[in-house]
Chain A
Amino acid sequence: MRDFDYAAPESVQQAVQLLSQANGSGRPLAGGTDLIDQVRMRRHEPDLIVDIKRIPELNVLEIGADGFRLGAAVPCWKITSNEDISRQYTALGDSCSIIGGVQIQNRASVGGNLCNSGPAADSIPSLIALEAVCVIMGPDGQREVPVAEFCTGPSTNVLKPGELLVELRFPPRPAHSGSHYRRFIPRNEMDIAVVGVGVSVVLDESGENFVSGRISLGAVAAKPLFAEEASSLLAGRPVNDETLAAAAAAARAIATPIDDMRGTVEFRQHVTGVLTERVLQRAIERARSGEPGSLHP
């Protein structure tokens, strides 16, 4: 592997300073499951790797009345083994339980999955559906960016040189809400999403009407999408086949996927509609029962 220096700072300030001084040739390291391979393959050529796992703020995992705070370096296994997350932020648990195999989940972080900004990243549609906001620290101070606006294209995002994703903040979950993430893959496990859909719904007390909903799509465009129109078609509507079909059609309409060995454009668009309906159904079940059920569908 290419030669580089390594630092393991213990504060956000030190990390930002190191990254700023590196002038764009520094890379933060959390679980390393993307980064180490990318350095080996020379997709990134850093002179400095900044291990962020020793910084307390990046290891925060807190659920309270104000919502949920997730440090950018928290590995997937801590998320899938947390019952409060499985119950309240279920879609994120779904995502983390299918990112790679067990070995990968023991290292990979949601913050890293987001910053790697792959169009098919499994955590991002869940983050968008659950309305997560990125807290970013840089040489000029702190700023916040909704996850829906974070990615700008394949492997690119709004982070500027010297900036570090510190944590993700999620609003508290309302009563009668449910969420789900599912992807279509040709294998049973360990594959890249052909289409991924993340959904969050809030129902009224009867469970028969939507109060609101958020739908997000992965792997069907240059970046994960917030399906704004599809989401707005849920608000205030009755929970029935017609509403679901209308939302699915609107989601399908914004899918602009590529052709590759995993699927053709036509196939991916079709799967976007089918998956949107199925994922909505599961999120509705969860909102009605208040139970996450099994993480594997």
Chain B
Amino acid sequence: MAKKQVVSTTINGQQEEFLCEPRQTLLEVLRDVLDMTGTKEGCSNGNCGACTVLLNGRPIDSCLVLAVEVEGAEIETIEGVAPAGGLHPLQTAFLEQAALQCGICTPGFIMQAKALLEQKPNPTEREIRFYLAGNLCRCTGYDKIVRAVQQAATAQQEVQV
């Protein structure tokens, strides 16, 4: 068996060191080694986006990243999104718009939408749909998700004014 390697990264602002085999994906390490099970596995082949996390600020499918690749990188997962004792505007909006049913796609959608709003605080509906095209949801039919992202965008802008 290939030797395990030590990988040091920053996850949700915290320095982390873990031991993993080269064949383990970032998704597997997050869930099985670090017990951060907020990030979900859907397809494990890059189609569904349930495993989306931010790698150096950009959303990627963590099932298509080897954990050994993230040496020195910064990672943000769903566990780091809510401020202490509260919810992120996207989380509030997803709840208020009922933008989830079974919820397995939700952490991925939140991470992806968060990256979108950081790049484009006021996206059009078309921009939202294109940006979220790599995230699949079998329950909601997407409209509620799009509305939740719109609500969060408005809420974030109001906070800034």
Give me the interface of A with B, judged by CB distance under 8 Å. 1-6, 8, 29, 31-33, 36-37, 39-41, 49, 51, 53, 77, 100-104, 106-107, 188-190, 296
Q: Write the chain B residue with the least CB distance to A187.
A: B133
Most buried by B among A2, A36, A49: A36
| CB closest residue in chain A, given B21 | A3
A3 with B23: CB separation less than 8 A:
yes
Q: Choose among A6, A37, A51 the residue that contacts B46 (Cβ–Cβ < 8 A).
A: A37
CA distance A5 to B3 in the complex (A): 8
Is A107 in contact with B66, judged by CB distance below 8 angstroms?
no
Closest residue of B by beta carbon distance from A97:
B130
In the A-B complex, list the 6 residue pairs whose CB atoms are closest, starting with the nearest.
A101-B134, A6-B22, A189-B133, A106-B58, A1-B23, A101-B133
Which of B22, B25, B47, B58 meets A77, CB within 8 Å? B58
Interface residues in B121-139 (C-beta closer than 8 Å to A) = 130-131, 133-135
Binding site for A on B (CB under 8 A): 1-3, 5, 21-25, 44-47, 49, 52, 55, 58-61, 63-66, 68-69, 71, 112, 115, 130-131, 133-135
B135 CB contacts on chain A under 8 angstroms: 101
CA distance A88 to B24 in the complex (A): 40
- Which residue on B lies nearest to A35, using beta carbons? B64
- Cβ contact of A5, chosen from B2, B44, B58, B112, cutoff 8 A: B2
CA–CA, A144 to B71, complex, Å? 33
Select A103's contact among B22, B52, B71, beta carbons within 8 Å. B52
Q: Among B23, B45, B63, B115, point to the contact of A2 (Cβ < 8 A).
A: B23
Asked if A102 contacts B59 (CB within 8 A), the reply is yes
A6: nearest residue on chain B (CB-CB)?
B22
CB distance from B20 to the nearest CB of A (A): 10
> In the complex the two chains form, what is the Cα distance from A8 to B61 in whole Å?
21
Instruction: Say whether, besides A101-B49, A104-B46, A5 and B134 are in contact (CB < 8 Å).
Output: no
> Given A1-B23, A49-B22: A36 and B66 within 8 A (CB)?
yes
With the chains together, A104 CA to B133 CA distance in Å?
11
Residue of B nearest to A188 (CB): B133
Complex: A217 Cα to B104 Cα, angstroms = 39
Complex interface: chain A residues within 8 A of B24 (CB): 1
CA distance A103 to B68 in the complex (A): 19
If A4-B2, A102-B59, A188-B133 are given as contacts, then 20 extra A-B residue pairs at C-beta distance below 8 Å, sorted by A number, are A3-B1, A3-B22, A5-B2, A5-B22, A6-B5, A29-B66, A32-B69, A36-B25, A36-B64, A37-B45, A51-B68, A100-B134, A101-B133, A102-B134, A103-B134, A104-B46, A104-B64, A106-B55, A106-B58, A189-B130
CA distance A39 to B112 in the complex (A): 26
Contact B2 A106 (CB under 8 A): no
